[in-house]
Amino acid sequence: MEARTRAPGRAPAAVVWERYAEPARWPGWAPQITGVEASARRIAPGVTGRVRGPLGVRVAFTVTEVDPTARTWAWDARLGPVRLRLRHGVEPDGATWLVVRGPAPVVVAYLPIARLALRSLTRR
């Protein structure tokens, strides 16, 4: 299943992009993330790591694409046999969007959390 969501921009696009570009900053705007271990300070193709979530859950990830000029990036996240492909972008007005692809029950459960995170990501 593939689903999309979007949050309006309140912060400048450059600020929103920097919040994406540094994995260490993800817990500051994504309530489902309590910590990040990453192989690099900034996202780039091939960067790998683990996102820590509630109850000690650790989700492995690999960044697959990054275009800083277009302010888009993609990554694959995996927890056991469950895999999600997530593609993100920041629009010139600071709005941000997400396209997530994976098993329908997981995508449906993840979307409300993702919407909350995107709204926090674009805050001033």
Q: What is the pLDDT of residue 98?
A: 98
Report DSSP state, residue 16: H
Q: What is the pLDDT of residue 109?
A: 96
pLDDT tens digit sequence for 32-84: 999 999 999 999 999 999 999 998 899 999 999 999 999 999 999 999 999 99
Report DSSP state, residue 11: S
Please state, in angstroms and rounded to a whole number, the distance separating the CA atoms of residues 1 and 85: 10
Q: What is the pLDDT of residue 61?
A: 98
Q: What is the pLDDT of residue 22?
A: 98
What is the pLDDT averaged over residues 106-119? 97
Residues 6+ apart with CB under 8 A from 45: 63, 64, 65, 66
Mean pLDDT of the chain: 97
pLDDT tens digit sequence for 10-36: 999 999 999 999 999 999 999 999 999
**Whole-prediction pTM:** 0.95
Please, where are the H alpha helices in 64-103? none
Domain ranges of the chain: 2-121
Please state, in angstroms and rounded to a whole number, the distance separating the CA atoms of residues 32 and 54: 7
Q: What is the pLDDT of residue 16?
A: 98
Report DSSP state, residue 85: E
Please state, in angstroms and rounded to a whole number, the distance separating the CA atoms of residues 95 and 4: 14
Q: In CATH, which of 3.40.50.300, 3.30.530.20, 3.90.105.10, 3.40.50.720 is domain 2-121? A: 3.30.530.20
3-state secondary structure of 92: coil
- Closest by CA to 24, choosing from 51, 46, 47, 63, is 51
